[in-house]
């Protein structure tokens, strides 16, 4: 058997897949090949799993129990990664999604959201913290707003420098 090289494709899955199945796929890859940080390369309706850059370590994971379909589970139907951004499209029961959407909009309005609101999130069993941002589709992101403010500051600094130079070269009025 040939050794699997770092970055080599070890599996491909066609979407849609249940969200709950994603962790089972990770467990299955680890059980088959060994431990390591695999990479997921999404390309539309196909997700490719590649071997870790440092290679696979020893196998430590028992064979996973793969989940069956669940009526309440969301399906990932499209994934694409480009320019550091991951685009995901989910399919789910319209009634369930409508309830989630209504709750999110209610939260947005309850905290006085105008353009976007953020919520700091720390998982119970994790050390990492995350920020959940809910933004109006037509609104500016915090990054866009900061860039616009930085451009305006730069314009004003240039104007101040121009006016200062003009005033320094002005002669007093003789009248």
| pLDDT, average across residues 55-68 | 75
Residue 172 backbone dihedrals phi, psi, to 5 degrees: -65, 145
Which pLDDT score, from 0 to 100, does residue 173 have? 63
Angle (CA) 69-70-76 rounded to 5° is 75
Sign of CA dihedral 19, 22, 25, 31: negative
Assign 3-class secondary structure to the chain: CCCCCCCCEEEEEECCEEHHHHHHHHHHHHHHHCCCCCEEEEEECEEEEECCCCCCCCCCCCCCCCCCCCCCCCEEEEEEEECCEEEEEEECCHHHHHHHHHHHHHHHHHCCCCCEEEEEECCCCCCCCEEEEEECCCCCCHHHHHHHHHHHHHHHHHHHHHHHHHHHHCCCCCC
Per the model's pLDDT, the better-predicted residue between 140 and 162 turns out to be 162
Which pLDDT score, from 0 to 100, does residue 153 have? 97
* Residues 53/38, Cβ–Cβ less than 8 Å: no
**Peptide bond before residue 81 is cis, with ω within 30 degrees of 0:** no
Predicted confidence (pLDDT) at residue 156 exceeds the cutoff of 90:
yes
Predicted confidence (pLDDT) at residue 122 exceeds the cutoff of 90:
no
| pLDDT, average across residues 125-137 | 84
Which pLDDT score, from 0 to 100, does residue 175 have? 53
Predicted confidence (pLDDT) at residue 160 exceeds the cutoff of 90:
yes
Alpha-carbon dihedral 137, 140, 142, 145, rounded to 10 degrees: 180
Which pLDDT score, from 0 to 100, does residue 55 have? 86
Q: Which of 79, 89, 83 is nearest to 40 (CA)?
A: 79
Predicted confidence (pLDDT) at residue 39 exceeds the cutoff of 80:
yes
Predicted confidence (pLDDT) at residue 166 exceeds the cutoff of 60:
yes
User: Each residue of 76-96: pLDDT tens digit?
Assistant: 778 877 777 777 777 777 776
Residue 53 backbone dihedrals phi, psi, to 5 degrees: -65, -25
Per the model's pLDDT, the better-predicted residue between 29 and 92 turns out to be 29
In the chain, the percentage of residues whose pLDDT exceeds 70 is: 89
Per the model's pLDDT, the better-predicted residue between 13 and 95 turns out to be 13
The answer to whether the pTM exceeds 0.75 is no
């Amino acid at each position: 058997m040939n050794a699997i090289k770092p970055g080599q494709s070890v599996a491909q899955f066609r979407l849609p897949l249940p969200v709950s199945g994603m962790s089972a796929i990770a467990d299955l890859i680890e059980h088959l090949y060994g431990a390591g940080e695999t990479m997921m390369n999404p390309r539309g309706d196909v997700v490719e799993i590649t071997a870790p850059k440092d290679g696979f370590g020893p196998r430590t994971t028992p064979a996973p129990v793969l989940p069956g379909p669940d009526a309440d589970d969301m399906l990932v139907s499209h994934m694409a990664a480009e320019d550091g951004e991951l685009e995901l499209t989910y399919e789910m029961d319209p009634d369930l999604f409508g309830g989630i959407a209504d709750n999110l909009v209610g939260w947005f309005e309850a905290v006085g959201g105008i353009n976007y609101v953020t919520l700091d999130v720390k998982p119970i069993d994790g050390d990492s913290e995350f920020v959940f941002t809910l933004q109006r589709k037509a609104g500016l992101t915090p990054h866009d707003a900061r860039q616009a403010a930085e451009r305006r500051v730069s314009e004003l600094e240039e104007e101040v420098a121009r006016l200062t130079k003009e005033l320094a070269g002005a002669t007093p009025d003789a009248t």
